[in-house]
Amino acid sequence: MSTKTYPYYPGCSMQHDNHAYAASSIAVAKALGFGLDEINDWNCCGATEYFSVNRLPAYSLVARNLALAADEGATEVVVPCSACYFNLHKTDKNMGKYPELGANVNKALAAGNLHYDPGTIKVRHLVEMVINDIGLDTLKERAKRPLYGLKLAAYYGCLIARPESALDDTEQPMMMDKMLEALGAKATPFALKTFCCGGHMTQISEETAFEMIHKIIKNAADGGADAIVTICPMCQLNLDVYQSQANRRFGSSYEIPVLYFTQVIGLALGLKPKDLGFGQEFVDAKSIVSKIQESPPPKERPARRPKEALPMPAMPE
């Protein structure tokens, strides 16, 4: 098991509207024995806003973080937010892939006495770091309070599975499903696990955003999930905070809590829900804790296919 301290890029939303993710990440890191050490004076990654309207300044904004990390002697950076992860990863990759872009970014960085050689920093998502460095065997071993009986939908969101990052399969990633199973929970079928949560659309076109949010929530509910597990502050915000508004628009009444994967790991490790930021969500997540059973539920027999699914020729009377 890893006991090292990782250079850490928290991102703006960890500091403002997602204390639950920040608190649970720190609690879980402490319990599992690894450290997260913030890069000194990191700045915003620009989210999707900067890249979409002013490309070179956007790359330069992100590259400042990579340059600062490299100056501290880091060779990797762990990032808990999928959008920050994607932007840092994309900048590192594209500066190397497109030399003209790399040169221009470094020209801009030079104005601030900084320089970054692409490839110096390996950008890693927190969930990937926990799964690969800590390992599922360790998680299983350390799960004092396995999540027996919990049915959880692993929601990856869009950015972590895309080809630019290639952490897992782009259409059907499984790494978090396996992690949830290792913790004793049941990972439910979830076809829309990489469907986008809508990002900034809640602010720009509610019609577009609520339809996307509703689709994801409905798909998770249809799969029988007690809760959705996320790895990104934006996904958590959209699916949790706007769930009631999406319900209103579509006449549905879903109440599916949306948790961070670190909160779920924390529960399995036996940490207190209060220390994991429970209570900050809009859709109450405390019900989840009471659903955890003492022993593994009996294996369910797969449901029989309905007659209509495989029409067979009828026998003559």
Partner 1 sequence: MKAKNGTTLFDRVVEATPGGELLAHCLQCGSCGGSCPSGPDMDHTPRGIFALINAGLEDEVLSSNTPWYCVSCYACTARCPQQIPITDIMYTLKEMAIHAGRYDHPQAAKFSETFIGFVEQRGRSFEAGLATRYHLFHHPENVVKLGMMGVGMMRRNRLALRPASIKNTEQLQKILAEAKSIAAKGRRS
Which residues here bind partner 1, judged by CB under 8 A?
Answer: 12-13, 15-19, 41-44, 46-57, 59-61, 64, 94, 97-98, 101, 104-105, 107-114, 158-159, 161-164, 170-171, 194-196, 198-201, 203-205, 207-208, 211-212, 241, 279-282
**Closer Cβ to partner 1, 116 or 261, answer by number:** 116
Q: Kindly give the residue spans of alpha helices, DSSP state H, lying in the chain.
A: 12-15, 19-32, 49-53, 55-71, 82-97, 99-110, 126-129, 136-142, 175-182, 201-204, 206-222, 233-241, 243-250, 261-269, 286-291
Measured between alpha carbons, how far is 259 from 265 in angstroms, rounded to an integer?
10
**Closer Cβ to partner 1, 34 or 59, answer by number:** 59
Smallest gap from Cβ 24 to partner 1, in A, equals 14
Contact 89, 64 (CB under 8 A): no
Structure token digits, residue 58 = 């956007």
Contact 95, 63 (CB under 8 A): yes
Smallest gap from Cβ 156 to partner 1, in A, equals 11
- Measure the CA dihedral 208/214/219/223, to 10°: 170
Q: Kindly give the residue spans of alpha helices, DSSP state H, lying in 2-111.
A: 12-15, 19-32, 49-53, 55-71, 82-97, 99-110
Smallest gap from Cβ 189 to partner 1, in A, equals 20
Structure token digits, residue 239 = 């699916």
Smallest gap from Cβ 98 to partner 1, in A, equals 4
- Measure the CA dihedral 282/283/288/291, to 10°: 150
Measured between alpha carbons, how far is 236 from 81 in angstroms, rounded to an integer?
11
**Closer Cβ to partner 1, 184 or 199, answer by number:** 199
Smallest gap from Cβ 142 to partner 1, in A, equals 29
Smallest gap from Cβ 159 to partner 1, in A, equals 7
Smallest gap from Cβ 221 to partner 1, in A, equals 18
**Closer Cβ to partner 1, 52 or 293, answer by number:** 52
**Closer Cβ to partner 1, 34 or 42, answer by number:** 42
Task: Count the Cβ atoms, other than its own, within 10 Å of residue 270.
Answer: 12
**Closer Cβ to partner 1, 41 or 300, answer by number:** 41
**Closer Cβ to partner 1, 66 or 147, answer by number:** 66
